[in-house]
Structure 1
Amino acid sequence: MVSKTDYSYFIGAHASRRRPALTRELTKRQYNAPKDTISLAEGMPNEATFPFELINVVLKDGTQFSLQGAELNSALQYIPTQGYPPLDRELLMTNGSQEGLSKSLEMIVEEGDDVLVQDPLYAGADIILKPFKANLIGIEQDQFGIIPKKLIEVLENCKSKYTEEGGGKMPKVIYLNPTGSNPTGGTMSLERRKEIYQICSKYNILILEDDAYCFLHFLEKQPVSFLSLDTDGIVIRFDSMSKIISSGLRLAWLTGPKQLVHRIELHIQSSNLHSSTLSQVLTESLLQHWGFKGLLAHFASVREFYKTRRDFTIASMEKHLKDLCDWEVPTGGMFVWIRVRGVSDVYEMLMTRGLKKQIVFVPGHAFMADPTKACNHIRASFSRTPLKQIDKAMKMLAELIREEQLLLRRKLDSLEHNIIR
């Protein structure tokens, strides 16, 4: 694919001034150099000084594999910023998808920029953007993702505003969490993805596709990625092993146009040089041990594990919250997004009275493009809490909501009484 996109448009002034470190470039070349090359260029420690002789990994099914010799030495050594060379070099390995997202936004966004986000959005994106004083423009969504009509309305409003004012910049990036979205648990349909892609292509908007839950969907078919639809080179995609192998390994990667990936590589190069070599080699060995069929079998078992927990959680909510709340059944991920009836703002209810009852839910404010507005939504996670405690928490939440509704009615009655007097 030859893209006609002008990528300089998406690179902020600060990012455009970054230059590759010569030492890092030599490290990259050394991994591809002929075996008889003599190099005195590396500033690397000698592997003979590392205390590790063998790392033996035992899996839950009883099988095991080991890292030793040259493979272990590679796993403990510096590597090129892009990642462990035996892996696909077209990718850029990162310490979790959060790092990839952070470095990408740092490359694109300048102070005061408009940034398009789904509303509600993943809170981790918000904390990256806050220091830039970015203006988050939330796009309303339904169970199938952001609504194309709403996105067009926002973009046309921006165009009119900046035309009238004779200044300002159109939004140039949109952040999306399309599969098993955090916090809603919704998954964007293929038709919706195609519509959104066409709109972004028309308005020259870069799509940041954060798909950390793509292997954790509960649908019959694997959702189609924005990256696979990308014919114009306007998608940067973030993948992660955190939800399906180990979050502590911090193994993730991003894929996108080479011109932009190279710039993001410079950001990582200037901060932590490269992501964990040990994590990459360990995961590569695990995948070789499993094989492709074994990997797919693991994905299937993880999906079934979380689907069972989701089904239990929804059944518990049906039992305790049916007349108090509304929700959509999550099609992926680890969360359910709950709308409370008769309570306009849940913050004090959860953060004061809820904590006193020793039940903890996240107020929806944490995920809204404008967290200062009243919010009647709650995010509940079904990933780790024992099932009996999930049921107990939903029962206690129902009690808490009834108490809150009663308190609000009493306040309203008191107000009406005072007005009449």
Structure 2
Amino acid sequence: MGQNRPNHQPLPFFTASISSLVQLERANGIPLYRQISLGLREAILSGALPEGTRLPPERSLAQELGVNRTTIMNAYNDLSSEGLIEGHVGRGTLVKRSSLQIDDDYFEQATPSWLLGLSASEDALLGPDARFLSEISSMEERQEIISLAQGTPPPDMLPAEVIQSLMANNLANARQSALGYCPMDGLLSLRRGIAARMRQRGVQVDVQNILILSGSTQGLGLIGRFLLTPGDEVVVEVPTYLGAIQMFRALGARIIGIPTDNEGMRVDLLEAILARRQPRFIYTLPTFQNPTGAVMSLARRRRLLQLARRYQVPIVEDDAYGEIYFGDKAPEPLKALDTYGNVLYLSTYSKMLAPGLRVAWLTAPVPMIERLSLYKQTFDLNTNAIGQWIISEMIRRNLLDEHLQLARQCYQQKLALMLEAIETYWPAGGRVHPPTGGMHLWYRLPGDMRARHLLREAVHEQVAFVMGELFHVDGGGHHYLRLSFAAPEEKHITEGIRRIGIAMRRLLARRTPSGEQDSPIERLPIV
């Protein structure tokens, strides 16, 4: 590691070309600022940019790399948040590798050589903030932090008592189906139950159209491995589910983003893409979309299906939240309108019941189910039998519908509480479009406030949320955040929103002239 230099001894700029360290690929789906920050990060950690090196000014580097100055500013902000660089008045931006507290000798003595090959290039394949999902999950065990980031059922809505009763009274007589191996495509009783429920929702399927999965992410992986080769293109909504972005990037896909509004994907912008490109499939969350909560309008659903048929592109419908609705009736799945078999339908019991059961399902044409069933056995043979048996019993005894009714009431009440707290504790000027189902609230921050900067302040208040930029494949979303209202206790919703409000006002105080009045909060569609 390089030696620290006294502050009164300014260092020269990095004399070589930064473009020799950062190779920009403008069509790979990773925002340019992230490619720049990842390239510089690897150079810093490898020693190519030693500690104390003075980086070029934002304007100079922007000219060298052929990007705008904001892109460089965002890349420098990323590195600064990791403690890898630091700005000094009169001295510029300096590499600050020592903040990592890593001793080079430690790696030489304690790390096998094959591990040293794992670098930021692998992180780039997975995309920005690849570790964020695991960090969200770990927050649940940190009692001091109020997390508004986790889109999961709360502890009191996990059906422990129902499961306990089922197992106490019925497990002994069902030990083979519950505790033994089951068919590769899933427990027959569960597939029958799922098929019957889907027919009630307008989807004409039978057991042979259903494959049971170990979570819907496994379904995305199986579909991706079946349909994609590295370099193929996939169309997604912007913003969209972070886990899907990471999965498609891990499979080497190039991601094309289509903007959304309060009626879902802008299908009017899709045809031009399909006409001149050849994406392998279209990924959409048309019902209570994650993160926006939007529901795709009926007209757009029909148009989307028409385009998919015309250009012979399949659609992957992710419907994790479709049965968590706050009105009198759930929106029909997109699959219910599909008369040509172009929609591959994914759903999961992680949101409806409990993520620990690890049970989801795919509905698709029989030939694809047969192929994916054989392919799935190379990963896990079959989904855990006891989780399948529990859900099958809950469906058969009408316990699932009873549970969902309670969940809908609970989450709708929590949403109302969150909106009330926002009105009370947050400065005006933001925009919100309250969802009619699901678990997430999408919020546009006031003015030019950035969610990344707000999150840094919120950490000091012991509260967490998800930055909007993580759901974007186009480098956008900086002024948005996602709040999940299902998981936290009601008292924590109010307190968490209050703490974020403190952080917001602290940010605004740094740049808002004294006495300036905020404009009222707008409950408008977010575009």
- Aligned counterpart for 1:404 among listed residues 497, 500, 507: 507
For residue 62 of structure 1, report the CA deviation from its aligned partner.
7.6
Displacement after TM superposition at 1:60 (Å) = 8.7
TM-score (normalised: structure 1): 0.75
Distance in structure 2 (CA, Å) of the matches to 1:373 and 1:182: 16
Shift of 1:64: 7.6
Find the partner of 1:194 among 288, 291, 302.
302
Q: Which runs of 5+ in 1 are unaligned?
A: 1-56, 160-168, 411-421
Does 1:308 find its partner at 2:413?
yes
The equivalent of 2:244 in structure 1 is 125
Residue 338 (structure 1) aligns with:
443
Q: Would you say the 8 A contact 1:324–1:401 is kept in 2?
A: no
- In structure 2, the partner of 1:146 is 265
C-alpha distance 374-382 of structure 1, shift in aligned 2 (>3 A) = closer
Three-state SS of the structure 1 residue aligned to 2:478 is coil
**Cα drift, residue 334 of structure 1:** 0.8
The DSSP-based 3-state class of the residue aligned with 1:253 is strand
**What is the letter of the counterpart of residue 498 of structure 2?**
K
Checking the alignment, whether the CA contact within 8 Å between 1:140 and 1:146 is kept in structure 2 is yes
Query: Contact (CA 8 Å) 1:93, 1:251: kept in 2 or not?
Result: yes
* Partner of residue 3, structure 1: none
Matched, 1:100 2:203: no
1:153 deviates by 3.4
Partners of 1:358 and 1:146 in 2: CA distance: 35
**Alignment CA distance shift 1:60-1:78 (3 Å):** closer
How far apart in 1 are the matches of 2:406 and 2:400?
A: 10
In 2, are the aligned partners of 1:119 and 1:140 still within 8 Å (CA)?
Answer: yes
Secondary structure, counterpart of 1:243 in structure 2? helix
Residues 93 and 394 (structure 1), Cα distance of their counterparts in 2 relative to 1, 3 Å cut: same
Question: Residues 366-403 of structure 1: CA distance to partner in whole angstroms, max 9, x if unpaired?
Answer: 11123x44611001111121222212222222232232
Paired residue secondary structure (1:342): coil
Distance 2:173 2:328 in 1: 42
Given the superposition, is the C-alpha separation of residues 124 and 198 from structure 1 closer, same or farther in structure 2, using an over 3 Å criterion?
same
Opposite residue 76 of structure 1, the aligned amino acid is L
Change (3 A) 1:149 1:339: same
Residue 372 of structure 2 corresponds to residue 275 of structure 1: no
Report SS of the residue matched to 1:86: helix
1:254 alignment counterpart: 362
SS at match of 1:111: coil
* C-alpha distance in structure 2 between counterparts of 1:409 and 1:191, whole Å: 43
- Tell me: CA distance 1:389–1:62, structure 2 relative to 1, closer, same or farther (3 Å): same
SS in structure 1 at match of 2:403: helix
- 2:427 and 2:504 in contact (8 A); partners too: no
Instruction: State whether residues 96 and 250 of structure 1, in contact with CA within 8 Å, keep that contact through their aligned partners in structure 2.
Output: yes
Give the residue type in structure 1 aligned to 2:394. Answer: L
Amino acid at match of 1:218: F
Q: For 1:19-76, what per-residue CA distance to the aligned partner results, in whole angstroms no more than 9, with x for missing partners?
A: xxxxxxxxxxxxxxxxxxxxxxxxxxxxxxxxxxxxxx84299888623455212221
What SS does structure 2 have at the residue aligned with 1:174? strand
Amino acid aligned to 1:306: Y
1:233 aligns with 341
User: Conserved in 1, the CA contact under 8 Å of 2:394 and 2:400?
Assistant: no
| Matching residue's letter, 1:127 | Q
Relative to 1, partners in 2 of residues 1:63 and 1:265: Cα closer, same or farther, differing over 3 Å? closer
Contact 1:58 1:64 in 2 (8 A): no
Say if 2:331 is the partner of 1:223. yes
* 8 A contact 1:324–1:398 mirrored in 2: no
Structure 2 residue 75 is matched with structure 1 residue 75: no
Q: Distance in 2 between matches of 1:303 and 1:76?
A: 31
What is the match of residue 487 of structure 2?
384
After TM superposition, give the deviation of residue 184 of structure 1 in Å.
0.9
Is 1:359 matched up with 2:463? yes
Q: Which amino acid aligns with 2:463?
A: I
Q: Contact conserved, 1:111 with 1:134, CA < 8 A, in 2?
A: yes
Cα deviation, residue 154, structure 1? 3.0
Unaligned runs of 5+ in 2: 1-159, 193-206, 514-527
Q: Distance in 1 between matches of 2:320 and 2:384?
A: 19
Would you say 1:319 and 2:424 are equivalent positions? yes
Matched letter for residue 446 of structure 2? R
Cα distance between partner residues in 2 of 1:231 and 1:284:
28
1:59 to 136, 139, 162: 162
Render the CA deviation track for 1:190-222: whole Å, top value 9, x for unaligned.
222112111221121111111010110223322
Q: Which amino acid aligns with 1:325?
A: G
The yes-or-no answer on 1:299 pairing with 2:404 is yes
Question: Shift in Å at residue 127 of structure 1?
Answer: 1.3
Aligned mates of 2:324, 2:171 — CA distance in 1:
33
1:67 maps to a residue whose letter is N
**Shift of residue 299 of structure 1?**
2.1
Measure the CA separation in 2 of the matches of 1:374 and 1:303. 29
Does the 8 Å CA contact 2:427/2:501 hold for their aligned counterparts?
no
| Residues 62 and 99 of structure 1: CA distance in aligned 2, closer, same or farther (over 3 Å) | closer
Q: Give the count of matched residue pairs.
A: 338
Q: Secondary structure at the match of 2:405?
A: helix
CA contact (8 A) 2:240 2:471 kept: yes
Change (3 A) 1:67 1:214: same
1:204 matched to 2:312 = yes
Equivalent pair of 1:343/1:404 in contact (CA under 8 Å): no
Whether the 8 Å CA contact 2:426–2:504 is kept in 1: the answer is: no
Q: Which amino acid aligns with 1:365?
A: E
Q: Identify the residue that residue 329 of structure 1 maps to in structure 2.
A: 434
| Contact kept? 2:461, 2:500, Cα under 8 Å | no
Q: Which moves more between the two structures, 204-213 or 242-251?
A: 242-251
Q: Quote the offset at 1:362 in angstroms.
A: 0.8
User: Equivalents in 1 of 2:349, 2:315: separation in Å?
Assistant: 21
1:84 is aligned to 2:217? no
| Cα deviation digits, residues 274-328 of structure 1 (max 9, x gap) | 111111112222223x23xx54333222111111111111121122236131110
Number of the residue aligned with 1:347:
452
